[in-house]
Chains A and B, each alone.
Chain A
Amino acid sequence: MSVSPLIQTDLDPRDRGGPAQPLLSVSGLIKHFPVRKGLGGQKQVVRAVDGVDFETLKGETLGIVGESGCGKSTTAKLLMGLIERDSGEMLFDGEPVGGRALPWRAYRRQVQMVFQDSYASLNPRMTVEASIAFGPKVNGVPGRQAVERARGLLARVGLEPKRFAGRYPHELSGGQRQRVNIARALALEPRLVLLDEAVSALDKSVEAQVLNLLLDLKAEFGLTYIFISHDLNVVRFISDRVMVMYLGRVSEIGPSDAVLAEPAHPYTGALLHSMPSLDPDNRTQVALLAGDPPNPIDPPPGCRFNPRCKLVAPVCSSIEPPLDPVAPAHRAACLARQPGSGHPDAPAALAAA
């Protein structure tokens, strides 16, 4: 159904490092928001994103999941440079983003984003055609050609240009607006598209249509997706790999089949169990994920999940688990899965392998 991540059939002329080089690789990404409590109160920080590392391979779809407040959306904004990162490094096809070889402007031409709120992300006073043509125009495409491109893209996302080009956002349905947003993102011919809860606000049937459209477009334009969602079903459907975030950190990352079928982190397991099952005989009665996530202003010491974890052991509140491999290409930040961590459930340390 989707293009295998490692076999890039049509070579993008902008490709530098070849198919094996990750398209985007992020390490040590940190963003803290300062908050002040009361008058002259002590300054505190919300650790929205607190040390995130991951890679996106060329041609794959990387799903990012987690509860609200886990830092998904902040991560998206950091990746797009909409907010400034405190620290961390981002390499796009091997080049540091914001560096001399790849300034932000050049990077952004290759990376675009689709927002969750299809209405708020379109200018209410502009026709959809003008919204799509805006990007190419400011990048030097002559007006007529930009409009031409906008119309072509409208047709490509399933909106007949004759009917839709001159409409305003409030004259479209939610699904139609999100198609326009996708067309707008594609107007600059990006290589990476970030979809931040892009289908979450849509009706289920419309969501399915838009997801299919996304898969088609990906194959046609050789795109790479980062797909952020709280809906595990959708992520399972569209993603090649999945990354699970909890309180500003990555708790698990790996192939979606492995992560969602045999989760290595208890948090992923709890998320999967809290999903309503379609089989009435198989409905969860017990809430596995009770309570809200702890306050990101002062996260619990050690493993951030320990207050809500069913595998919790004394060691969990003293050691912050590293994101270590549990299987090929599958890593998890759980002491219970790490040999020699001191956790009672940890697998026996393999003799120096």
Chain B
Amino acid sequence: MTAPVTAASVALDGAVTTAPPAEAEAFIPSRGFWGHVGHRLVRDPVAMAAGAVILLIIAVAILSPWITPMDPYKGSMLRRLRPIGDATYWLGSDELGRDMLSRLMVGARLSLFMGVTPVLIAFAIGSAIGILAGYVGGWTNTILMRTIDVFFAFPSVLLAIALSGALGAGIFNAIVSLTCVFVPQIARVAESVTTGIRRRDYIDAAKLSGASALTIMRVQVLGNVVGPIFVYATSLISVSMILASGLSFLGLGVRPPEPEWGLMLNTLRTAIYVNPMVAALPGLAIFIVSISFNLFSDGLRTAMEIRQ
């Protein structure tokens, strides 16, 4: 080779076949992406505390039939609206003389179920729509995403109430309505994440290796999009809890005498002059769960922002 000596060719003499010192670095044990995320999440005290609260409330909800101090359905006309700190009713009693603590514990079941289920279903449906639109692109994308745009023309509270108002009251209808609210939101995020991934060179490289579109979707795309979509979905649980209880509060969700926080808040509205602290309790429960999910989701998102 007669090339003139340049900076590049000076260093070229002698074939280098093993990683040379310039590139060598301290050995780091490989943890993988989720390993890193978990490691960072554990060190976030706020997220951990929020996670602990969520786990505690889930545990109470599951175990409530066995651990409630009193029968949550049995009231006493003589002992209505006892204050907080009562010897029998630790957290007071409601307008029908039922134990608040027991009702709040059992109420966690329906409240959590109605808040979390729509997000889970919407996560599955919305991800599928968004990933399909993002990965296939073209006309499929245009049609799907323009349809999604229509749902964004409704503020989410309005859409939820309009749908359950039209469908009628009931747990099932409330869950269907809330799912319809969250599917477009998750689909939009899924689409933008997938579109971003689809343009990456490693997807091109996978195409060049002769893999079918389905294989690329399964092996190369899915693992990279599910994480961000999931984090977004967890941030919706907080809104979903508020909306689900809000529907029951309006009388569109759970029906009495089932204990559910939103419904309890509504029936206790009449008691605000008699025993305001007890009347506010169910709302406080919704607030604690909602803020815990929000803080945990924030922590999860921060932990996933690993700069590479």
Interface, chain A (partner B; CB < 8 A): 1-2, 80, 82, 105, 108-109, 111-113, 115, 117, 119-127, 131, 134-135, 138-139, 158-160, 163, 166-171, 173, 175-176, 181, 184, 187-188, 203-209, 211-213, 215-216, 233-234, 236-237, 257, 278
Contact = CB atoms under 8 A, between A and B. Distances in A.
B215 interface: yes
B100 to A, nearest CB: 47
Given A122-B202, A124-B308, A257-B2, 6 more contacts: A108-B208, A138-B211, A173-B23, A208-B11, A209-B22, A237-B6
B30 A167 contact: yes
Contacts of B22: 175, 203, 205-206, 209
B205 A160 contact: no
A204 B8 contact: yes
Given A108-B210, A125-B223, A1 B1 contact: yes
10 contacts: A121-B205, A124-B224, A134-B219, A138-B209, A160-B19, A168-B30, A176-B23, A207-B8, A208-B9, A233-B3
A211 B12 contact: yes
Contacts of B19: 158-160, 176
B150 interface: no
Contact of A123 (B15, B17, B207, B220): B220
A61 B308 CA distance: 33
B209 A188 contact: yes
B155 interface: no
B86 interface: no
Nearest to A233: B6
B206 interface: yes
Name the 8 nearest CB pairs between A and B, nearest first.
A135-B209, A121-B201, A170-B308, A208-B11, A138-B211, A125-B223, A115-B201, A120-B201
B66 interface: no
Interface in B195-238: 200-202, 204-212, 215, 219-220, 223-224
Interface of B: 1-4, 6-12, 14-20, 22-23, 25, 27-28, 30, 32-33, 200-202, 204-212, 215, 219-220, 223-224, 306, 308
A80 B17 contact: no
B27 A163 contact: yes
A204 B2 CA distance: 20
A170 to B, nearest CB: 4
Contacts of B2: 257
A194 to B, nearest CB: 9
A107 to B, nearest CB: 10
Contact of B308 (A169, A204, A211): A169
Nearest to B7: A204
A152 B32 CA distance: 22
A137 to B, nearest CB: 9
Nearest to B25: A173
Contact of B204 (A82, A167, A205): A82
Contacts of A159: 19
Contact of B210 (A139, A160, A209, A216): A139
A2 B17 CA distance: 17
Query: Chain B CB within 10 Å — which of A111, A203, A237 has the most?
Result: A237
Nearest to B32: A168
Given A121-B201, A168-B32, A237-B3, A109 B210 contact: yes
Nearest to A80: B208
Given A123-B224, A158-B16, A108 B209 contact: yes
B69 to A, nearest CB: 48
B204 to A, nearest CB: 5
Contacts of A135: 209-211
A212 B15 contact: yes
A109 B17 CA distance: 26
B203 to A, nearest CB: 8
Given A124-B33, A167-B30, A204-B7, A216 B308 contact: no
